[in-house]
Each structure stands twice: as structure tokens, then as C-alpha cells.
Amino acid sequence: MAKAQAATPKPEMLLDIRDLRIEARVFPPDEAPKTVTLVHDVSLTLKRGKVLGLIGESGAGKSTIGLSSMAFGRGGVKITGGQVLLNGRDILTLGPAGVRKVRGREVCYVAQSAAAAFNPAHKLMDQVVEAAMLHGVASRAEAEKRAVALFKKLSLPNPETIGSRYPHQVSGGQLQRVMTAMALCSEPDLIVFDEPTTALDVTTQIDVLAAIKDAIRDTHVAALYISHDLAVVAQVADEILVLRHGRLVERGDTHQIIKLPQQDYTRALVAVHEIDHTEKQPSPTPILSVKNVTAAYGGGAVKVLKNVSVDLHPGQTLAVVGESGSGKSTLARAITGLLPPQQGSINFDGRTLSNRLADRPKEDLRQLQMIYQMADVAMNPRQTVRTIIGRPLEFYFGMRGKERDKRVAELLDKIEMGTGFADRYPAELSGGQKQRVCIARALAAKPKLIICDEVTSALDPLVANGILKLLLELQREEKVAYLFITHDLATVKSIADAIAVMYRGEVVRYGPKSQVLHPPFDAYTDLLLSSVPEMEQGWLESAIQGRRMQSAGN
């Protein structure tokens, strides 16, 4: 097989997608099933060994287009028009058996969540070499040798033995690299990277990104790199395709897209993190004062907060930043009383709060509200927006009937949604709208403090930007303080007045924003700050070189 391919030189144009149209059958509630078009006649080309970035928000059709290069439609998705020419032939006409010969051989796939994409029942090595053996690219021994070499190249720890581990025994960042090795193992011509670093912590992302970039360079494989984060794509792509609602917005080389965007939408994507916010000065008396709090899970067995002290001033925003496992959400649980601290105290508005949630009076509950990352699971799917926002009004203020409806309308107006939304169900709202409803629900209680736990992490950048602006606007009007938990430093820079950096349960750096973000940095803050992708080609290399500390988990 290898000889036959060597005899006929492969065409220079690896992938040529022409007028691709992709449709799906959807079954909306209370309506007849209908067909929607996900991708409208998109064309693209990719030369051998090049990297094309596909960028856009969710629903832009980037994954759908990426998978079409494997003649695959996820769920009820069907490719209904156009051609996908791979190595000079239309793979849409190959039939099931023909397509199976292409998948895993000429094109391989790296999924967003490698943790879910690996079969928990098999060892990593068995899964890594599976495609290579299936397509007769290599014998088991050869494939394993190649896999170990790839593990080394991707700087995985213990490359000789990691293959004999099961997926759950390996961290997320490592799994993502193992998946890249799996894709490279059968020496394909093209790899589809579908948001391979999105689910990772920022300090892990940079490692994985660098590993992927090196592997692409050394193996001369071509790639479709799908991401919603333009700064990430800019590090690896030669060319970028901007997509929106299944249509092509703009195509250009990476430099042109990030420096000289032609379309308004692209300009908005480039400028997405810029929000004007002037830092406020601390007031004499903080609204919330966390003093020497230590908290643990498992009856004191696992300490997740160690002697944490922070202050939050009225009408201001304290951002708590850190990677997963740093204890930032646990801090929120301790403040709300969901996890009573072992030691220390929490003072709020001049009084000490009871450690346990059950011991707190209703007034304490009212003044301290929460907004969550997953807006859709934080709302009862069988209640309308009116009921959801009206609930705190009834519970805390005893409002009923017209009075309540009037207030609900006011709140909907505040979150820039009309009263027309009052009778909708959460399932009928977009991600951003759901989060707005959650904000309105928190505001309905007229709180003095809202804890925002990763409220923008699940949203597209532009939508997240809108939510952040709304939160700042509401802060001005309502004088509410935010404890803003996030792993995203760009968000922090946009909205915080003070910052607490957390690492393994401790606050390693704390103070006003200007001070925290101003050198000299401690090693961890430096790592965290230097890991945030910048909209600059070559940033990745200089960031890796300038590092003083290895990332924690991976």
C-alpha cells in the first residue's frame, strides 16, 4: 500500500471543499419537525502540510465543516450538497466502506474532550495504535514504537509506559496530547483539531498548544484547527477562515486576519476583550471580609482552603482567579455556607455570618446571591422566565400578582430583554439570554453581594463580552458588589477592581488590580499571566521561553 502511494505523487491540493451544504433535522418542542441549514455553501481549500484555522462562535458550523472532511455528520446532521475533494477525489461519493478506508487513515480527528473521547475500558496504547493497525499502516510492534516516539515528541511523562495506563489514570492535558499522538500514529495527511485546548486550564493549554504545534511542524501533516479563540488559532494557523451562522465571513492569512480584519464581525472578534473600566479605590469598610478561612472536604481529610483572607468593598468587584482545583469555587461555597469553614470567620455588612447555611436568617440569604456557570441547569426547565424571576420577589418580599409582574418587567428591562420573554421557557432562550435571566433572578433579591462563579466561561466570547458589560452597568446602577470567580485572566483585566490569585487552596497574591497586574510578579502569577494567549503571532514561542515555572498539573 505504501509503495503504491509512493508511485503516484499526491496532489498538492490536499483538501478542496466546494459549495458545502449541511442540513439537520430538528425537533423543536410544540412544533413540527423541520430541516435547518447549518452550513450554507461554504468552500475552502487546504494545501498539503498547511494549517487552516476555522474560527467562529458556537453554531457557526466550524465543527460540522471540520467533520465533513471525514464525510461524517454528527447526530442527525447530513451533508446535502457540494463536494469534499480529499487527495483529488470526492469522498462524499465513496459509500460507507470507502469512507471507512479514509477515516483514521487519510484524516484523523482530535476531539475537544479527550477524556470523553477515549474508551474507559481499554488501555491507551490499544486505542492509539488501533487505527494504524486497522488500515494496515503498521504492524502492532511498529505502531507501538511509533506511538512511544510520538509520546516523547509531545513531551508526555513516562512515554515508554504511559500507554499501559487507562484513560482515567491520566490527566486531561496529557490525554489531549495522547489523542494527538493517536491521530498522528497512522500518519494521516490531515488532522482535524476540534477545540483541542478549550477544556484545559490556561497554563495547561499553552503546553498542549506548543506540543501540537511542534508535532504538526515535524510531521508535515496538514490540519484544520477549530477554535472559538482567535488568539489560540493565531498561534498555529497559516490561514484563518472566519465563520458565522454557517456562512463564510472572511478568509485570509493569519497576519491579515488579526492585524487588518476586513469585516466588522472579524474586527469584533479581534477586539473582544477590550472593555473600558476604571479601577475603584477601596472604601474604609469592606462589605465582605473573609478572615483566615480554612475549609476541607471529607470531614477535614482534604484541605481545599488554607487560611484564606480577602476583603470586598461595597459596589466593587473582587476577582478570584486560579486554575481548576485551586479552591476558588470552594471559597464561594464557604462564603455561602454550603461548606462550613473549619476555622476563620466571614463578616458581611458589619456582622459575622453563621458558618452553616441552615443557621442563617432569611435576610442574610437575600443579601448574598449567586450566579452560576451553567445557566441552563441553574433554572427549572418547567418554569417560565416570569416564575423564575418572580420566585425571589415572592420569597423575600412577599410580592404577588400585578406588583410582582411589574417588577419582573422592570428586571427584564434591566437585563436588556423585553417583557415578551416573560412567558418563555429556558429551553427557548440562547445561552447568553439564559445567563441574563439568572442575573435578573439574583438582582430580584436586591442583594448587596453577588457571587459570580465562572458566569461567562460557557459562553461565546462576544456573548460573554455582552454579559460582562451588563454586569458592570448593573453594578453602577444598583451598587452591588461582585465576587467574580474565573479562570480567564482577560475577563479579570476587563472588570475587576481587586484581584486575589489562588493556587492550591492559598491566596498567593492579593490587592488592587493595578498592583496585582504590575511587576514584579511571584512565580505563579507570572505563569498565569504569561499563559494567556495574546493576539500576536509568535506569542506562543516567546511565552514558552520566558517561563519561570512549570504548570501545575500537566
Provide the binding-site residues for other proteins, judged by CB under 8 A: 70, 72, 74, 99-105, 108-109, 111, 113, 116-122, 127, 130-131, 134-135, 165-166, 168-169
Provide, rounded to whole angstroms, the least separation between the CB of residue 164 and other proteins.
10
User: Closest CB to other proteins among 104 and 461?
Assistant: 104
User: Closest CB to other proteins among 72 and 521?
Assistant: 72
The answer to whether 108 and 130 are in contact (CB under 8 A) is no
Provide, rounded to whole angstroms, the least separation between the CB of residue 130 and other proteins.
6
Provide, rounded to whole angstroms, the least separation between the CB of residue 261 and other proteins.
33
What 3-state DSSP class applies to 262?
Answer: coil
Provide, rounded to whole angstroms, the least separation between the CB of residue 104 and other proteins.
4
Q: What's the order of all strands across the beta sheet hosting 498-503?
A: 368-371, 449-453, 481-486, 317-321, 498-503, 506-512
Q: Which residues of 161-198 are buried (b: 16+ CB within 10 A; e: fewer)?
A: ebbeeebeebebbbbbbbbbbbbbbbbbbbbbbbbbbe
DSSP notation for 341-389: -SEEEEEETTEEPPSSGGGS-HHHHHHEEEE-S-TTTSS-TTS-HHHHH
Provide, rounded to whole angstroms, the least separation between the CB of residue 227 and other proteins.
18
What is d(CA 454, CA 437) in angstroms, rounded to the nearest whole number?
A: 16
User: Closest CB to other proteins among 109 and 482?
Assistant: 109
User: Closest CB to other proteins among 105 and 487?
Assistant: 105
Cα end-to-end distance, the chain, whole Å: 38
CA dihedral 173, 178, 182, 188 (to 10 degrees): 60
User: Closest CB to other proteins among 200 and 248?
Assistant: 200
User: Closest CB to other proteins among 224 and 411?
Assistant: 224
**For the range 332-335, what are the long-range contacts, defined as Cβ-Cβ under 8 Å and sequence gap of 24 or more?**
332/370, 332/451, 332/453, 332/483, 332/485, 333/295, 334/290, 334/293, 334/295, 334/305, 335/288, 335/290, 335/368, 335/451, 335/483
DSSP state of 446: -
Q: Retrieve residue 211's grid coordinates.
A: 506540543
What 3-state DSSP class applies to 554?
Answer: coil
**Cβ atoms < 10 Å from Cβ of 90:** 14
Angle 306-310-316 from CA coordinates, rounded to 5°: 150
DSSP notation for 15-49: EEEEEEEEEEEE--TTS--EEEEEEEEEEEEEETT
Provide, rounded to whole angstroms, the least separation between the CB of residue 100 and other proteins.
4
User: Closest CB to other proteins among 99 and 470?
Assistant: 99
User: Closest CB to other proteins among 164 and 430?
Assistant: 164
Amino acid at residue number 438? C
User: Closest CB to other proteins among 2 and 338?
Assistant: 2
User: Closest CB to other proteins among 61 and 188?
Assistant: 188
DSSP state of 547: -
Provide, rounded to whole angstroms, the least separation between the CB of residue 208 and other proteins.
18
User: Closest CB to other proteins among 94 and 149?
Assistant: 94
H/E element, 52: strand 51-55
The C-alpha cell 455553501 sits at: 41
User: Closest CB to other proteins among 69 and 530?
Assistant: 69
Provide, rounded to whole angstroms, the least separation between the CB of residue 195 and other proteins.
13
Provide, rounded to whole angstroms, the least separation between the CB of residue 177 and other proteins.
15
DSSP state of 251: E
Closest CA to 54 of 15, 93, 12: 15
